[in-house]
Amino acid sequence: MHEPKEIFVNTSKCTACKTCEISCAVAHSRSGNLYGALQEKPFPKPRLYVEWVAPDINVPIVCRQCEEAPCMHACISGAISRNKEGVVITDTDKCIGCWTCVMVCPYGVIGRHLETHKSYRCDRCPDRETPACVSSCPTKALVYRTVESFSKDIRKDAASKMLAEERV
Amino acid sequence: MKSDYADYLIIGGSAAGMAAAQAISEKDPKGTITVLSEEPDMPYFRPMIPYVVTGKKKAEGIGISGNGPYTGAGIEVHTGARVDSVDTSRRSVSIIGKGQVSYDKLLFATGSSPYIPPEIKGTDASGVFALRKLSDARAMAKRAESTDHAVMLGGGLLNLKAAFALLELGVKVTLVVYSPEVLSQLMEPKDAGLIRNALDKAGLKIMTGHSARSIISDKSGVTGVSLDDGSEMPCQMVCIGKGVRPNIKFLSGSTIAIDKGIVVDRYTTCNDPHTFAAGDVAVTFDPVTGNRIMTALWTNAVEMGRCAGHNMTGLKTAYAGTFGIMNATQVADEPFVSMGIVHTNNSAYEVHVSASGSTYRKVVFSPDGERLVGVLFIGDITGAGMYRYLIRENMQIGRIKSHIVDQTLHYGHFLKG
């Protein structure tokens, strides 16, 4: 079976430049470019959030596509479903803005468009090979990989660090 | 009935029943699943019926199967199937006019019905509604065509939603509330200011501290309501929103344990190992207070229904319980979320409020200040789900408390705090 890719975060590389937030908002705008996006109503919004934990940790927070997705089951209008790629998506036409998904999302990553009275969320950029946040990240703090390949790299990385320490 | 046996038999085709059926079909795709629903309509998203009143949605547009996580695959649904008795020793239920169905595992997901206070006289007149079923929504929409003024009895969320549906249709609406303020189950009067202002601005007339004595009618149906102060209000429609009661009548004479609702253990199992219950009809527990409670919320019913479905397939899954108070919605452009312990007047709870002209965020801690027990957010409901998680897990909040108090909490604090 084709294993779906996930967005992984390496907080030690994140500088909180927020390029990911901007490129996410632009990628989800109608015009698709920054200058056009700035003029649009409703104002395009990012679907991931770079947060700060004192004193010096930056944490990009993005939808985890939960296996037993609470938002999807809690939705009272049947607007949230999982597509063939395993991505949880909100059908804006069916969303009634009751905010039940906001009430149950443990990560706090479901946003609200007040102008349109609809909720919005990360959709993993269905028209792109790599989500806009990941491809725009200048420090590679965000990576888009399968779980297996990401954990393999972490093991390799840890092993090479251990080797380096031994040489010292 | 297509067949008189099902591996999984589910009584009730709403939130808990359909969620259980879906969960079962995911875990045991080969098992036969039969859902018995007493309503004439195929299962639908019940909270959507106010949109059927306004005409914004058609009945066929709010069906469950094929929407959200519901594939409907492998699930046989029978509408108009009303169960009148259950024989747990022979593992069989009897359906009025349709014979018997036997089962291996049985789920009670019969939900609840509106409570109509017997002290109010004349509630059987035409034009008196309790908006619960799709058939009520259709009848209400029809009656609204000849209604100039509607009186809503009860200031709960369901009645507010019905009230807004009617306002949208151009009907004048008066809400008669016995409590000192609307939504008294979800918030204290002193916390309800923003909501009340929004309701007033939206054109809803609200009379607090009043109740109805009787409903006056003639052959055209409702013509007015007589109130406890002796006054009379002419109207052509009355909506009663006085809460719900679990549907357990069909179990009289059975051996299933009842305590107001159907009693289940943590694994949603009744006092018979082949029998389960979930949703409004089941007695569950509140992880904050430890109290045994019954709730009537779609979201809770789905969660418990899925849990019961898993247990029915043999996948032992503990239900985490839910808060007696929990709801989110938007009334009159004012979003709010209320969950856990939010009634704090004359209590020892540690309460922090941060308010602006358009937002009100109240957080409630245990008296020792070490656990979050409830939140009420109005206007700004950002991140509400994180707080739900904190309350439900009953965890020591330690260092993140300051972020909860000053409203700067985000998920990063859980990871790196």
**Structural domain containing residue B288:** 5-113+245-312
Q: Do B410 and A51 touch (CB under 8 A)?
A: yes
Query: Whole-angstrom Cα distance, residue B231 to residue B213?
Result: 10
Assign domain A66-107 one CATH number from 3.40.30.10, 3.30.70.20, 3.30.70.3040, 1.10.287.130.
3.30.70.20
Contacts of B68 in chain A (CB under 8 A): 72-73, 75, 77-81
pLDDT digits (tens, 9 = 90+) for A86-136: 999 999 999 999 999 999 999 999 999 988 999 999 999 999 999 999 999
At residue B256, the 3 state secondary structure works out as: coil
Domain annotation covers residue B410: yes
**Cβ contact B127:B237 at 8 Å:** yes
What residues contact B118, with CB distance under 8 A and at least 6 apart? none
Last residue of a domain, one of B259, B292, B312: B312
Q: Which of B47, B298, B412 sits opposite A51 (nearest CB)?
A: B412
> What is the Cα–Cα distance from A141 to A139, expressed in whole angstroms?
5
Task: Name the residue in chain A with its Cα closest to that of B51.
Answer: A96
Matching residue, tokens 């939960």:
A66
**Chain B residues in contact with A49 (beta carbon < 8 A):** 410
Q: Is residue B119 part of a domain?
A: no
Chain B interface disruption, residue of A98, A110, A120, most B CBs within 10 A: A98
Residues from chain B that touch A108, judged by Cβ atoms under 8 A, are 382-386, 410-411
pLDDT for B105: 98
- Residue B13 has what pLDDT? 98
Length of chain A (residues): 168
Count helices and strands (H / E) in chain B.
Answer: 9, 26
Q: How far apart are CA B12 and CA B280, in angstroms?
A: 11
Q: Count of domains in chain B? A: 3
B260 and B227, same domain (yes or no)? no
Whether the predicted model's global pTM rises above the 0.90 cut: yes
pLDDT band at A159 (very low <50, low <70, confident <90, very high): confident
* Residue pLDDT, tens place only, A30-51: 999 999 999 998 899 999 999 9
What is the CB-side half-sphere exposure of residue A140 using CA atoms within 13 A? 1
For A151, residues 6+ apart whose C-beta sits below 8 A from its C-beta are none
Residue B331 lies in a domain: no
The pair of structure tokens assigned to B91 is 């593992």
How many C-alpha atoms does A55 have within 13 Å on its Cβ side?
0
A86 touches chain B (CB under 8 A): no
Instruction: Give pLDDT < 70 ranges for chain B.
Output: 1-2, 417
Which ranges constitute the DSSP H helices of B72-225? 134-144, 157-168, 193-201
| In a shared domain, residues B285 and B367 | no
Whichever domain contains B216, its CATH number is: 3.50.50.60
Contact residues, chain A, for B164 at CB < 8 Å: none
Q: Which of A58, A66, A96, A122 to mutate to test the interface with B (most CBs of B within 10 A)?
A: A96
Answer yes or no: is B58 within a domain.
yes
CATH number at residue B362: 3.30.390
Q: Is the ipTM of this complex over 0.90?
A: yes
Q: Touching check for A161 and chain B: CB below 8 Å?
A: no
Q: Are residues B138 and B221 in the same domain?
A: yes
B70 and B173 share one domain: no
pLDDT tens-digit readout, B59-81: 999 999 999 999 988 999 999 99
Interface test with chain A among B53, B56, B67, by most A beta carbons within 10 Å? B67
Confidence of residue A4 (pLDDT cuts 50, 70, 90): confident
Confidence check: pLDDT of A1 > 60: no
Looking at the fold, whether B47 and B145 belong to one and the same domain comes out as: no
Same domain for B93 and B81: yes
CB atoms within 10 A of CB B123: 19
- Contact of B33 with B128, CB cutoff 8 Å: no
Q: Looking at residue A78, what DSSP letter applies?
A: S
A140–B contact, CB cutoff 8 A = no
Same structural domain, B84 and B178: no
The three-state secondary structure class of B257 is coil
Q: Which helix (H) or strand (E) holds B303?
A: helix B298-312
- Name the residue facing A77 among B45, B410, B417 (closest C-beta): B45
B157 and B233 co-located in one domain = yes
CB contact under 8 A, B382 and A108: yes
Identity at B67, one-letter amino acid code: N
Which residues make Cβ contacts (< 8 Å) with residue B290, sequence separation at least 6?
none
Query: Where do the H-state alpha helices sit in A40-99?
Result: 70-74
A111-113 and A118-120: which strand pairing?
antiparallel
Q: Do B69 and A82 touch (CB under 8 A)?
A: yes
Which pLDDT belongs to residue B417? 64
